[in-house]
Structure 1
Amino acid sequence: MLFTSSAVLFLAAFAVAKPAPSKRAAVAFVDPNTDGGRMLTDADGLDGQAGDLGEPLNVIISGLSSADVLTDAGFLNYAQSIGFSFECLGLHLGGPQSANLGDGNGFVNQTVEYRQDYGDEELGTCLESLIGGNHLRVFRQNGTEANTGALFLAVSQEENVAEGHTIVANGYNLGRNALAATAIAGTTTANGVSYTTVAQNLTTLLPAGTAGVNHDIATDGITTLLTVTIV
Structure 2
Amino acid sequence: MLAVPLAVFAFAYGSAVVTGLTLQKRAVDFFDPAQGGGSIFDNATFGGEPLNVIISWQSSPDVLTDDGILNFARAIGFSQECLGLHLGDPQTANLGDGNGSVNQTVEFRQDFGNDFLGTCLESLVGGNHFRVFRQNGPQANSGALFLAVSKEQPASQNHDIVPDGYNIGRDELVAGAVGTKSFGGVTYNVVAKNITGLMPAGSDGVNHGIAVDGIVTLLTVTIQ
The TM tier, using the shorter chain, reads 0.7 to 0.9
Given residue 28 of structure 1, which amino acid in structure 2 is its aligned partner? Answer: D
Q: Could you tell me which residue of structure 2 aligns to residue 198 of structure 1? A: 191
Distance 2:191 2:26 in 1: 20
- Aligned runs of 1:42-191 on 2, under 5 Å? 42-44=43-45, 53-184=47-178, 186-191=179-184
Distance 1:136 1:217 in 2: 16
- Structure 1 vs Structure 2: percent identity of aligned residues? 65
The C-alpha deviation readout for 1:8-27, integer Å capped at 9, x for no partner, is: xxxxxxxxxxxxxxxx9851
Q: Could you tell me which residue of structure 2 aligns to residue 213 of structure 1? A: 206
1:35 deviates by: 1.2
Tell me if structure 2 keeps the 8 A contact 1:26–1:148.
no
Tell me if structure 2 keeps the 8 A contact 1:141–1:152.
yes
Q: Could you tell me which residue of structure 2 aligns to residue 222 of structure 1? A: 215
Distance 2:169 2:61 in 1: 25
Tell me if structure 2 keeps the 8 A contact 1:25–1:147.
no
Distance 2:73 2:67 in 1: 10
Distance 1:164 1:43 in 2: 15
Tell me if structure 2 keeps the 8 A contact 1:58–1:155.
yes
Tell me if structure 2 keeps the 8 A contact 1:86–1:125.
yes
Q: Could you tell me which residue of structure 2 aligns to residue 9 of structure 1? A: none
Moved more, 25-34 or 156-165: 25-34
Q: What is the TM-score of this pair, normalised by structure 1?
A: 0.85
Given residue 164 of structure 1, which amino acid in structure 2 is its aligned partner? Answer: N
Residues 72 and 112 from structure 1, CA distance in 2 versus in 1: closer, same or farther, beyond 3 angstroms?
Answer: same
Q: Flag as ranges the 4+ runs of structure 1 deviating above 2 A.
A: none
Distance 1:149 1:25 in 2: 14
Distance 2:47 2:87 in 1: 20
Q: What is the TM-score of this pair, normalised by structure 2?
A: 0.88
Q: CA RMSD in A?
A: 1.4
Distance 1:99 1:117 in 2: 25
